[in-house]
Amino acid sequence: MGISKEYAVQMRGIKKVFGAYQALDDVQLDVKKGTIHAILGENGAGKSTLMNILYGLYQPDCGEIYLNGEKVNIKNPNIAISHGVGMVHQHFMLVDNFTVTQNIILGKEVSNKFGVLNMSKAKNEIKSIVKKYGLDVDPDAKIEDISVGMQQRVEILKALYRGVDLLILDEPTAVLTPLEIKELICIMGNLIKDGKTIIIITHKLKEIKESAEECTIIRKGKYIDTVKVTDVEQSDLANMMVGHKVNLIVEKSPAEPGEIVFDIDNITVEDDRKLSVIKDLSLKIRRGEILGIAGIDGNGQKELVEAITCLRKVSSGTIKINGNEIQNTNPRNVIDNGISTIHEDRQKCGLVLDFTVAENSVLEKYRKQPYSNKGIINNKKIDEFIKQKIQDYKIRPEHCENILVRELSGGNQQKVIIAREVANHPDLLIAVQPTRGLDVGAIEYIHKTLVELRDKGKAILLISLELDEIMNLSDTISVIYSGQIVGTFKQGTVDENHIGFLMAGGKQDAVNN
Amino acid sequence: MQLIIKILRKPITSTIIAILCGFFVASIILSLAGYNSIQTINVMFNGVFSRPKSIANVIIKSTPIILTGLSVAFAFKTGLFNIGAEGQYIMGTIFAVIMGIQFDFVPYIQVPLVIFSGMIAGALYGGIVGLLKSKFGIHEVITSIMLNWIALYMSNFIANTSVFHKPNTTGTYVINESSFTQVLYKWKTSRAGIAYLKNNSFLSDILLRTDLNYGIIIAIVLAIFISFFLLKTTKGFELRAVGLNNHASEFAGIDVKKNILHSMLIAGALSGLAGALTITGMSPHNISTISVFEGNGLNGLSVALIANSSPIGCIFAGLLFSGLIYGGQSVQSEVGVPSEIINIMIGTIVFFVALTRLIPQLANVFEKKVGKKNAN
Amino acid sequence: MKKVIAVLLTITIFSTIIGCTNASNKNENNQVTVAMVTNLGGVNDESYNSSAWQGLQALSSETGTKVTYLESNQATDYLTNLDKLADQGCDLIWALGFVMADSVITASSTNPDLNYAIVDYSYDETPSNVTGVMFRAQESAFIVGYIAGKTTKTNSVGFIGGIEGNVIGQFEYGYRAGVAYASKELGKDINVAVQYIESFGDTPKAKATASKMLSDGCDIIFHAAGGAGIGVIEAAKDANKFAIGVDNDQSRLAPNNVLTSALKLVCNAVDIISTDFINGKEIGGQTLTYGLKENCVGIPENNPNMDPGVYNDAMELEKKIINDEIIPPYNKQSFEKFKSSL
């Protein structure tokens, strides 16, 4: 394919090496003007690196970049912006206690000759952009007061305000609710209509199918293919991304629930500001059952997990495992009573990143026989244990027992946690966002593991912001809204729309009518 | 080229290069200040290695800074910055002096009594910091700095309290001889000892002319023990986990607050021990009114830094630091370089050793260059 | 562990590179070397240590003797520093300050062939290779006390001492006697406020104490508080009143506010004794005392803030002391006796 003005971006033979690690190896990219182009790849495949090179954050070791048919040398993001390239990062770069307008104009302030800001002019400009693309956002609201979806819009507005023609969105849907995702896709449509070009980095196949025209697949730093999205199935995309056949649908037999092992009865929990964020919540989980809690972030999921694991006080009500009350004791007691938790933020709460894999694998058990004896740690036993787990859970790289967990990929870090928690033989396993940020292969593996555990008669509490995950995996689905369970359904008796409606605060009765 | 890269990646190389760089820059500074740098550095090394006695003195003077270094390194491994080592050290000296003056038992009761009281005083003093941090979340650096000054004034107060104050001096009485920890103190000061040592120049050099004491053995044993404790015991595992990620530790059922307190108690005990051993093992065996910190605790920070917080490393970092200081004093009297320049010199060397971690980066730069060449 | 080997290796490498030339610095031509060990104040303390160093430098320029010094950073340095100088082949080693009294005894017994001298200390039993050097500081204190008494307008003067003891007592009682002498001469009562700050290094405390004294009505303060005394001079400068310096001529620190200084010319004593030693005079085994007679205490020649008449009177007084007509008291007992004899 030649270099042509038809293309907003063309990249040729891009190579990038970090230390001994080849992040990109001869990657090419062709993005047609006025289209949405998806870049698909597993975590660590090199998609973000490629886009950071396009945005001038990294310099390629070799390779060429053409914008609108002309060769460019993008040394830093300012040059990228001057060429009309904008990027919205996965982690937003906004000043929390500034207003939307202030954030947008930051670095490109409109002022008169005395250096006094002309806010009204800036505001009007922003309003016109807002109107044009349907990016509904209050220009006077403070960033800390608006939702994540809104913050993303501010980031997009920031780019548009700087007059970009090519917008790179890095994992834009990772933090959004289903409704927000729909709105984002709609906004992207508006931008395309106006002649802008969009590149989205993602590993969510469904969204690619819904929005993009073309898709470039990268695997392990290598260019695989560019395909027209309408020509391929989701499973084809997944296979290309992973490099082998992937099973997208969770295979599981119908649940055979046993007796109730875990029982939350009317608990009320206060947050740090002494506001009740969980009000009279009750929940029961049976053996051999996966109970999924669907809900938008910030509706009490975090506090619920903290209350169960005794990291937070319960002001009233009881939490029982196997009939023993555990509320308001301490985390160790909870673990000893047979509750294991895969925490949401694995790097902050699940792992000690500067401990070895072996050390992390016994983070809860180091005091127990045979891992230690009379206060002296038995490294031999720990090694035996982790070696077995590395084999069982296919933790990569092989023989990683004595390397730091920090050096493992996200998926393998999560496997270490799961291996550790499952080895506790818990009666209840709490999994909070267990697949967040993981690639398809790892997600498939983790889902399979959870189902296997269920089949062994364990109770599993799954908390996830990804509705698909809840719908596919749970035997029972509960919806949490504003600290209360607003509906509980058996799998298959409810559709995604209804759950989404309840998650957003809709009333059960209104639907029934 | 590949070989160079490989060598550069080795930590040994880093340290050697760092020390060489340090001496190189120090010699530039010396030349700029108008001194013959080769001669100066030569004198410094001779000051350390020329006689068995000077080596002994380096070892003797390294004992307190190895221990305070160990204290800082230990706290650092558990996520705390123990800038209070100085205060804990002073508390150790204070209580060793009090007990050493007040009691006079037979040595095998007296010595442990004096040393343990110093150690406990240091531990409790560190414990205050730990308690304030774990209960109220007050940052340890702030409380430690305040407590350092309180310890300094407390030391001056004790030095001037009539029970301990020796009239017509600025300090306290000397502790009772039964508390001394010098090697063969009784014998070497006896007639027979002096007579014997007269005929043995090596022994008289290191025994009679120095305060050679058992402290260094305690320091080395403790460094090894702390290393073992951190790596091989469940308590050490807990402390390290809390230090590296207190969230994950808490989530895994470890009591973070208790561990902060324990860590500071242990770190304080180590610094307190350093103080007690200085009192029992080195003349003048007392405390005097001081207006600025003597710096054994603060030097511990440098030692821990050079050692990269490795307990075993503290032994060697302590010896290096002590050697630099002791050798530096020779430079002063023999070459006439003022102490300011000597301190800059020592500082430069320590600074470069602390920058050791930059050396492997150099390897990366080389590798990149090689990579580019190969790519072309 | 690797780090450990690294450090060891480095040390070995360095010692081979530089080579172990022997440290025998004994001068080939048998030249005499005189050295001194400072106390914790360091060689630039503008007082005691620097004065002694001046003395050694003067000695060096007069006789060509090799001189050197060694600073102490910690109390544990005293003995090793004394020892270090012994190694370097010094023949006479000065220990500056009574803090080193015990260390000097130890060092002198391990090196019986070397000579030691200690400033401001007198042993009950002086070893044969040790010389104690004392100053009749009461003599200069008496003179500055007299000057203060003649100069004060508020009829109230002050004294700030470091730590109570025999040495500082000489200053206090000499000074008080001088003030009493002036008050007798003028026929009026002059009050003397006396305070100890319990330190020789705590400058802020000295300053605070002096400020309090000045605001209480004193207009001249004499300090004998070592390095901390700088605080007294600062306070006098702030209040635009007078301070009287000690040991060295401290007028440099506040040219308009230092009335005079009670010099303790450690330099002269060091010079005299060292010269005697070089000339082969037996100096060990005794405590030598120096005062106005030997020009080892006194006041500076130039005192721009002092009334010339007062200076002349003071010089007259100096003669009387040299001629033993007046014997200034040096402790409480002798002071009481002196006072009743007025």
C128 and C55 within one domain: yes
Tell me the shortest Cα–Cα distance from A449 to chain B, in angstroms.
21
Q: Is residue C15 part of a domain?
A: no
Tell me the shortest Cα–Cα distance from B2 to chain A, in angstroms.
13
Integer Cα distance of C63 and C73 in angstroms: 30
C224 and C195 within one domain: yes
Residue % of chain B over a pLDDT of 70? 93
Exposure letters A52-65 (e unless 16+ CB within 10 A, then b): bbbbbbbebbebeb
Tell me the shortest Cα–Cα distance from A353 to chain B, in angstroms.
8
Any chains having at least 3 CB pairs less than 8 A from chain B are A, C
Residue-level pLDDT at C74:
86
**Strands C258-264 and C220-224, bridge-based pairing:** unpaired
CB C140 within 8 A of CB C222: no
* Binary contact (A363, B252; C-beta < 8 A): yes
Contacts of B153 (CB under 8 A, 6+ apart): none
Find the residue in B nearest to A379 (Cα): B232
C167 and C254 within one domain: yes
Please name which of B5, B18, B77, B73 lies closest in space to residue B357, comparing C-alpha atoms: B18
**DSSP state at residue B306:** H
Q: pLDDT category, B368, cuts 50, 70, 90?
A: low
Residue-level pLDDT at B133:
94
Integer Cα distance of A409 and A32 in angstroms: 33
State which H helix or E strand residue A70 sits in: strand A70-72
Q: Is residue C202 part of a domain?
A: yes
- Residue A47 pLDDT > 80: yes
**Tokens found for residue B1:** 């080229």
**What is the rounded average pLDDT for all residues in chain A?**
86
Task: Write the pLDDT tens digit of every residue in B100-141.
Answer: 999 999 999 999 999 999 999 999 999 999 999 999 989 999
Q: pLDDT category, B372, cuts 50, 70, 90?
A: low
Q: Is residue C7 part of a domain?
A: no
Task: Write the pLDDT tens digit of every residue in A373-404.
Answer: 888 999 999 999 999 989 888 887 778 888 88
Find the residue in B nearest to C75 (Cα): B284
Integer Cα distance of C246 and C143 in angstroms: 12
CB-nearest partner of A62 from B231, B235, B375: B375
Integer Cα distance of B355 and B252 in angstroms: 35
Find the residue in B nearest to A363 (Cα): B252
Spans of chain C, pLDDT less than 50: 12, 15-28
Residue-level pLDDT at B340:
83
C251 and C162 within one domain: yes
Sequence-separated contacts (24+) of A52-58 with Cβ below 8 Å = A53/A11, A53/A14, A53/A16, A53/A24, A54/A9, A54/A11, A54/A80, A54/A85, A54/A168, A54/A199, A55/A80, A55/A85, A55/A87, A55/A168, A56/A80, A56/A85, A58/A16
| DSSP percent split of chain A into helix, strand, coil, nearest 5 | 35, 30, 35
Comparing B123 with A81, the larger pLDDT belongs to B123
Contacts of B339 (CB under 8 A, 6+ apart): B328, B332, C42, C43, C71
Please name which of A187, A337, A166, A355 lies closest in space to residue A262, comparing C-alpha atoms: A337
* Binary contact (B250, A332; C-beta < 8 A): no
**DSSP state at residue C91:** S
Structural domain that includes position C259: 137-264+294-341
Integer Cα distance of B356 and B5 in angstroms: 15
Phi first, then psi, for residue A307 (nearest 5°) are -65, -45
State which H helix or E strand residue A24 sits in: strand A21-32
**What is the rounded average pLDDT for all residues in chain C?**
86
* Binary contact (A348, B252; C-beta < 8 A): no
Residue-level pLDDT at C4:
53
Do A and C touch (≥3 CB pairs < 8 Å)? Answer: no
- Alpha carbon dihedral B203, B208, B213, B214, in 10-degree steps, equals 40
**Beta bridge mates, A278:** A269
Residue-level pLDDT at A284:
92
| DSSP string for C183-232 | HHHHTS--EEEEEE-S-SS-HHHHHHHHHHHHHTT--EEEEE-GGGGHHH
C329 and C195 within one domain: yes
Q: What are the Cα distances from residue B206, in Å, to A268, B51, B201, C169, C339? A: 73, 9, 9, 40, 55
Q: Summarize the confidence of residues B322-336 as an average pLDDT.
A: 87
CB-nearest partner of B12 from C6, C25, C83: C6
Determine which of B12, B38, B86 to mutate to test the interface with C (most C C-beta atoms within 10 Å).
B12
* Binary contact (C165, B168; C-beta < 8 A): yes
CB-nearest partner of B248 from A17, A61, A349: A349
Q: Summarize the confidence of residues B171-190 as an average pLDDT.
A: 88
Residue-level pLDDT at A476:
93
Integer Cα distance of B372 and A16 in angstroms: 11
CB C116 within 8 A of CB C104: yes
Residues of chain B contacting C170 with CB distance shorter than 8 Å: none
Domains of chain A: 7-242 (3.40.50.300), 260-512 (3.40.50.300)
**Tokens found for residue B11:** 């930590």
Integer Cα distance of A46 and A52 in angstroms: 10
Tell me the shortest Cα–Cα distance from B315 to chain C, in angstroms.
8
Total number of residues shown for chain A = 513
Tell me the shortest Cα–Cα distance from C48 to chain B, in angstroms.
15
Task: Write the pLDDT tens digit of every residue in B47-60.
Answer: 888 888 889 999 99
Residue-level pLDDT at C24:
36
Tell me the shortest Cα–Cα distance from A72 to chain B, in angstroms.
21
- Residue B82 pLDDT > 50: yes
**Beta bridge mates, C35:** C68, C93
Q: What are the Cα distances from residue A182, in Å, to A36, A93, A201, A203, A295? A: 15, 23, 17, 17, 17
Residue-level pLDDT at C3:
53
**Tokens found for residue A117:** 């800001």
Residue-level pLDDT at B376:
47
Find the residue in B nearest to A329 (Cα): B253
Beta strands of A287-381 (E only): which ranges? 289-294, 314-321, 324-325, 339-342, 372-373, 376-377
Q: How many domains does chain C have?
A: 2
C105 and C44 within one domain: yes
Integer Cα distance of B288 and C74 in angstroms: 10
Q: Is residue C194 part of a domain?
A: yes
Rg (CA), chain C: 22
**DSSP state at residue B179:** G
SS3 B138: coil
Please report, as a single letter, which amino acid is at residue C168. I
Please name which of A183, A267, A324, A334 lies closest in space to residue A480, comparing C-alpha atoms: A267
Task: Write the pLDDT tens digit of every residue in A238-286.
Answer: 788 877 766 667 778 888 888 999 999 999 998 877 888 898 999 999 9
Q: Summarize the confidence of residues A89-97 as an average pLDDT.
A: 81
C306 and C158 within one domain: yes
Tell me the shortest Cα–Cα distance from B374 to chain C, in angstroms.
32
Q: What is the ipTM of this complex?
A: 0.81
C311 and C284 within one domain: no
Find the residue in A nearest to B247 (Cα): A349
Domains of chain B: 1-35+337-376 (no CATH), 52-335 (1.10.3470)
- Alpha carbon dihedral C67, C73, C78, C83, in 10-degree steps, equals -50
Q: pLDDT category, B328, cuts 50, 70, 90?
A: confident
Q: Summarize the confidence of residues B323-334 as an average pLDDT.
A: 87
Residue-level pLDDT at C17:
44
CA max distance for chain A:
75
Q: pLDDT category, A43, cuts 50, 70, 90?
A: low
| CATH number of the domain encompassing residue C273 | 3.40.50.2300
Any chains having at least 3 CB pairs less than 8 A from chain A are B
**Tokens found for residue C20:** 């172990």
Task: Write the pLDDT tens digit of every residue in A451-500.
Answer: 999 999 899 999 988 788 888 899 999 999 888 999 899 988 888 778 87
C181 and C300 within one domain: yes
Residues of chain A contacting B231 with CB distance shorter than 8 Å: 377
Find the residue in C nearest to B290 (Cα): C201
C334 and C188 within one domain: yes
Q: Is residue C302 part of a domain?
A: yes
- Residue A24 pLDDT > 80: yes
Determine which of B42, B46, B152 to mutate to test the interface with C (most C C-beta atoms within 10 Å).
B46
* Binary contact (A335, B253; C-beta < 8 A): yes
C277 and C247 within one domain: no
- HSE value, Cβ hemisphere, 13 Å, CA-based, for C140: 30
* Binary contact (B167, C43; C-beta < 8 A): no
State which H helix or E strand residue C321 sits in: helix C308-322
C167 and C300 within one domain: yes
Residue-level pLDDT at C202:
81
Please report, as a single letter, which amino acid is at residue A449. T
Residues of chain B contacting C199 with CB distance shorter than 8 Å: 156, 289, 291
Give the count of beta carbons closer than 10 Å to the beta carbon of residue C127.
15
Integer Cα distance of C85 and C76 in angstroms: 15
